[in-house]
C-alpha cells in the first residue's frame, strides 16, 4: 500500500474515533436520573475575571445518588456558582447553605425518559451522518488516486473495502453507545 493510501486510512481512523468519543462526551452531559458530576463540566463560573468550569473551582461529590454537593475551595465563589447554575440549562434549582451548594435531581418521569431517549437517538444519528461524511471524503480521495493512476484498480478496491470496514465498525460502536445510554435512561 502506498503512503498516500496509508495516510488516508490514518486520517479516516482518527476522525472516526474522534466522532465516537465526542458522542460519548455528549452522552455524559445528558442527565439519566442519577446525579453525575460531569453534568457541570460545561457550566462556567466567573473566577477572578476568567470563565472557569465549576469542577476546576470546587470539590463535587454525589450524595445518595440523586444529589450533587458542590463545595468551592474559595467560599467567596458560592454566589457566583449559584448564579451560574441558575442560568445554565441543567434544569435543577441550586440550594445554598452558606458553605456548600446542593443540586437535588428529581426522579425522571416516564415522559421525560422518552424525550431523553429521542434526544440520545438523534445524537447517535448525527454521529452516524458524520461517520458517513468521513467515509465519503476518504472514498473521494481514493478515487482521485485511482484516476491519477497512482494506485491500481485492485489496490483501490481493497482500500475501499478497508474504508467500509472502518466506518461500519465506528457505526457499530455508535449504536452500542446509544443503546447503552438508552438502557441507562430507561432504568428506573
Angstrom distance (rounded) from CA 10 to CA 134: 12
Q: Does residue 98 share a domain with residue 120?
A: no
pLDDT for position 21? 92
CATH number at residue 57: 3.30.1360.40
Q: Does residue 92 share a domain with residue 61?
A: yes
Q: Does residue 150 share a domain with residue 164?
A: yes
Angstrom distance (rounded) from CA 103 to CA 39: 11
Q: Looking at 104, 138, 155, which one is the last position of a domain?
A: 104
CATH number at residue 148: 1.10.132.20
Q: Nine-digit cell at 90? A: 441543567
Number of domains within the chain: 2
DSSP annotation string for 93-114: -EEE-SS-EEEEPPPPPHHHHH
pLDDT, tens digit, 9 for 90 and up, residues 133-188: 999 999 999 899 888 888 888 888 898 999 999 999 999 999 999 998 888 887 76
pLDDT for position 188? 61
Choice between 40 and 140, residue whose per-residue pLDDT is larger: 140
Q: Looking at 87, 104, 121, which one is the last position of a domain?
A: 104
**pTM, rounded to two decimals:** 0.72
| Domain that residue 174 falls in | 3-29+109-186
pLDDT for position 33? 64
Q: Does residue 151 share a domain with residue 62?
A: no
Q: What is the mean pLDDT of residues 70-74?
A: 89
Q: Does residue 182 share a domain with residue 124?
A: yes
Give the lowest-confidence range in 18-32, 46-60, 140-154: 18-32
Share of the chain above pLDDT 70, in %: 97
pLDDT for position 99? 87
pLDDT at 39 over 70: yes
Q: Does residue 46 share a domain with residue 24?
A: no
Q: Does residue 130 share a domain with residue 75?
A: no
Q: What is the mean pLDDT of residues 20-40?
A: 79
Q: What is the mean pLDDT of residues 9-37?
A: 84
Q: Looking at 71, 104, 137, which one is the last position of a domain?
A: 104
Q: Please list the residues that pair with 101 across neighbouring strands.
A: 70, 96
Q: Does residue 137 share a domain with residue 93?
A: no
Q: Does residue 115 share a domain with residue 24?
A: yes
Backbone angles phi, psi at 30, to 5 degrees: -85, 125
Give the lowest-confidence range in 16-20, 34-38, 75-79, 175-179: 34-38
pLDDT for position 41? 81
- Confidence band for 18, pLDDT divided at 50, 70 and 90: very high
Are 10 and 78 within 8 A, CB to CB? no
Amino acid at each position: 500500500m502506498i503512503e498516500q493510501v496509508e495516510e488516508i486510512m490514518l486520517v479516516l481512523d482518527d476522525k472516526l474515533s474522534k466522532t465516537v468519543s465526542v458522542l460519548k462526551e455528549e452522552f455524559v452531559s445528558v442527565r439519566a436520573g442519577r446525579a453525575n458530576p460531569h453534568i457541570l463540566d460545561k457550566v462556567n463560573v466567573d473566577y477572578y475575571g476568567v470563565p472557569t468550569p465549576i469542577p476546576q473551582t470546587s470539590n463535587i461529590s454525589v450524595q445518595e445518588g440523586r444529589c450533587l454537593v458542590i463545595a468551592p475551595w474559595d467560599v467567596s465563589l458560592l454566589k457566583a456558582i449559584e448564579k451560574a447554575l441558575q442560568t445554565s440549562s441543567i434544569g435543577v434549582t441550586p440550594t445554598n447553605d452558606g458553605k456548600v451548594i446542593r443540586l437535588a435531581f428529581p426522579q425522571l418521569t416516564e415522559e421525560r425518559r422518552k424525550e431523553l431517549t429521542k434526544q440520545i437517538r438523534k445524537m447517535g444519528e448525527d454521529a452516524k451522518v458524520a461517520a458517513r461524511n468521513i467515509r465519503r471524503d476518504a472514498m473521494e480521495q481514493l478515487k482521485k488516486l485511482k484516476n491519477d493512476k497512482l494506485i491500481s484498480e485492485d489496490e483501490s478496491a481493497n482500500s475501499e473495502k478497508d474504508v467500509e470496514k472502518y466506518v461500519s465498525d465506528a457505526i457499530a460502536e455508535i449504536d452500542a453507545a446509544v443503546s447503552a445510554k438508552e438502557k441507562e435512561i430507561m432504568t428506573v
